[in-house]
Amino acid sequence: MTRPLMVLSFALGVGVASAQSNILQLPLINDPIMNPLIAPELGSILVNKVIFPGLVRPNEDLQPVPDLARSWTITNGGLVYTFTLRDDVRWHDGKPFTADDVVFTFNTARDPKSGSRLASDFSSIKSVEARGRNTVRFVLSRPFAPFLILLGHNAGILPKHLLEGKDLNSATAFNRQTPIGTGPFKVSRVVPGASVTLVANRDYYGGAPKLDGITFKVVPDLNTQVAQLRSGGLDWVTLEPSNLPSVQGAQNVTIKQADAVQHYLVFFNQKNPLFTSATVRRAMQYAVNRRAIIDGILKGYADYPTGTIPTALRTYYDKSIKPVTYDPAQARKLLLQAGWRPNAQGILVNARGEPFKFTLIVDKGNATREQAALAVQQDLKRVGMDVTLQTLEFATLVRDYLIPGKYDANLIWWTTPPDPDQYSFYATGQDNNEAAWSNARADALLRRGRETVDPAARKNIYNAYQRLTMQDPPVLVLYYPKELQAISRRLTGVPDLGIRDALRHTERFDLR
């Protein structure tokens, strides 16, 4: 069968497609929205990182270093940030980049009515103004320590001369076909549903990129992505641990792992009386064999958790805190203290004879999460809880269950900027605190943490917060995953970062 196909293939006048020499090929799941303020999903965010630089970008320690800004000063106790911009930057259409572009971008970004998805990231901005052509001054309404990190995260700068006065979501030509940024690569061609082709920007302010171009190919199926990686049609694929066997042994591919600023967790709805007691939530930490989940399901590509601050935040993570290890006997003991004793069938019941019974939900279709949820259910059953597992489509899970708080327990994950600020996730009454956890001391620590600019003082605050969450766990943190990257051996110059942050440095990438 192969021979006739080969003959046919040559008869069609084209040989085996050899990978274009110096063009990096990356996968996308669907067509990107090339506008950093409204990009809704990872694929769009990745493309935007290449096209739209920010004022700063993260270095290999995830700390902000200059990008479009040359330097900055922080004055008035962390309330005023003054940036000096580079004066050698041009937009991809040749127009000069100025302070007005920065002012336009942040005035739009902090206005939720503009359709911006970064509104809450920049809600601390009281005013932003241009002071001359190359100076921008931000005045914050309160000291906000993550500000610089957030500037280097998703906040690419947009061209005022093309977007001013337009509804961001309706600027289809810009968002879908002809985005104009200042980055090392510019969009040259978009084929809907198929690819976005970028060519090197020879006028890039950081020097000419080494690659000739980058092609983002729309390949929705992960198995097909892996097949294309192996056949040379793609150069970089991020994987789930279950995909590992399909790339192991491939000559042209190397596997790398990067720290991901993520924590995978189980929310317990604390409006449900079952979970209000901290003792019960502590018991869960002992009851679930997280080591088995990490070794078995994640093939070891994850760190064992101690609280909600992931190990990837090296500066702030407190290594000295002792993790809670699997100990079902200890779990039963704590549950007994909280008033739950096993009945004749081994099910935990309270003084009124009511069983410890709840439903754990997880999203459908991701093998890692489905298996982890199953492991959690089985472990909790082992200590006498009557747990039902329910899988739901992700959009349904979030919109109909998680957001309205109509759930008992939910396996999910948080991807955060590389900053320890978790105020919106775990402070009382915050939008993203869907577990309804409330701890006055944690509230105070989280508030102080985001307002303290001095790194050493901040570290102490978050270490105290981390210790506190071991005693009163807001959620059951399961693991801090690693990002698994399968990369073509030809690709060099990639910094040791997750793909999100690595793509802020594409001018250094090269293909041998």
Partner 1 sequence: MLSPGFVARRVLHALVVLAVVAVVTFFIVRLAPGGPSLLADPALRDAERAAIEARLGLGDPLPVQFLKFVGNAVRGDFGQSFLFGTPTLQVIASRLGNTLILAGAALTLTLLVAVPLGTICGLRPHSWLDRLISVVSVVVLAVPVFWLGLMLIIALAVLRPVLPAGGMYTTGMEGNVPDLLRHLLLPAVVLASASIAELLRYTRSSVRSAARLDHVRTARAKGLPQRAVNLRHVLKNALIPVVTVIGLQLPRLVGGAAVTETIFAWPGMGRLSVEAALGRDYPLILGVTLVVALAVVLFNLLVDLLYPLIDPRIRTEA
- Figure out which of the listed residues 412, 446, 494, 499 binds partner 1, where binding follows CB under 8 A: 412
Binding mask 417-456 for partner 1 (x = CB under 8 A): -------x------xx-x----------------------
What's the distance, Cα to Cα, between the start and end of the chain in Å?
Answer: 34
Q: Which stretch binds partner 1 (CB under 8 A): 30-38, 128-136, 347-355, 472-480?
A: 30-38
Cα separation, 491 vs 295, in Å, equals: 29
Q: How far is the CB of 176 from partner 1 (least distance, A)?
A: 7
Q: How far is the CB of 39 from partner 1 (least distance, A)?
A: 11
Is residue 22 a contact point for partner 1 (CB under 8 A)?
no
Reference 43, options 56, 32, 58, 35; nearest CA is 32
Is residue 251 a contact point for partner 1 (CB under 8 A)?
no
Contact 302, 482 (CB under 8 A): yes
- CA quadruple 35, 430, 500, 94: dihedral positive or negative? positive
Give backbone dihedrals phi and psi of 358, rounded to 5 degrees, phi first. -155, 170
What count of other Cβ atoms lies within 10 Å of the Cβ of residue 188?
14
**Which two structure tokens, joined as six digits, stand for 498?**
């997750």
- Figure out which of the listed residues 124, 228, 262, 463 binds partner 1, where binding follows CB under 8 A: 228
Q: Which stretch binds partner 1 (CB under 8 A): 5-13, 302-310, 346-354, 451-459?
A: 5-13
- Closer of 385 and 411 to partner 1 (Cβ): 411
Q: Which stretch binds partner 1 (CB under 8 A): 188-196, 272-280, 288-296, 497-505?
A: 188-196
- Closer of 8 and 344 to partner 1 (Cβ): 8
Angle between helices 278-287 and 367-382 (to 10 degrees): 110
| Residues that contact partner 1, how many (by CB under 8 A) | 67
Vertex 495: Cα angle to 453 and 204 (nearest 5): 90
Q: Which stretch binds partner 1 (CB under 8 A): 55-63, 135-143, 215-223, 489-497?
A: 215-223
Is residue 143 a contact point for partner 1 (CB under 8 A)?
no
Give backbone dihedrals phi and psi of 217, rounded to 5 degrees, phi first. -105, 135
Is residue 194 a contact point for partner 1 (CB under 8 A)?
yes
Contact 222, 478 (CB under 8 A): no
User: What per-residue string of b and e applies to 205-241 under the rule 16 or more CB within 10 Å gives b?
Assistant: bbeebbbebbbbbbbeebeebbebbbebbbbbbbbbb
Q: How far is the CB of 248 from partner 1 (least distance, A)?
A: 14
Is residue 235 a contact point for partner 1 (CB under 8 A)?
no
- Figure out which of the listed residues 230, 281, 282, 369 binds partner 1, where binding follows CB under 8 A: 230
Q: How far is the CB of 253 from partner 1 (least distance, A)?
A: 11
- Closer of 114 and 201 to partner 1 (Cβ): 114
Cα separation, 482 vs 256, in Å, equals: 10
Binding mask 321-360 for partner 1 (x = CB under 8 A): ----------------------------------------
CA atoms within 13 A on the CB side of 357: 6
Give backbone dihedrals phi and psi of 44, rounded to 5 degrees, phi first. -60, -40
Residue corresponding to tokens 């303290």: 452
Which residues form the interface with partner 1 (CB under 8 A)?
A: 2, 5-6, 8-9, 12-14, 16-17, 20, 23, 25, 30-31, 33, 40-41, 112-113, 115-117, 119-120, 169-170, 172, 175-176, 191-195, 197, 215, 217-221, 223-224, 227-228, 230-233, 392-396, 398-400, 402-403, 412, 414-415, 424, 431-432, 434
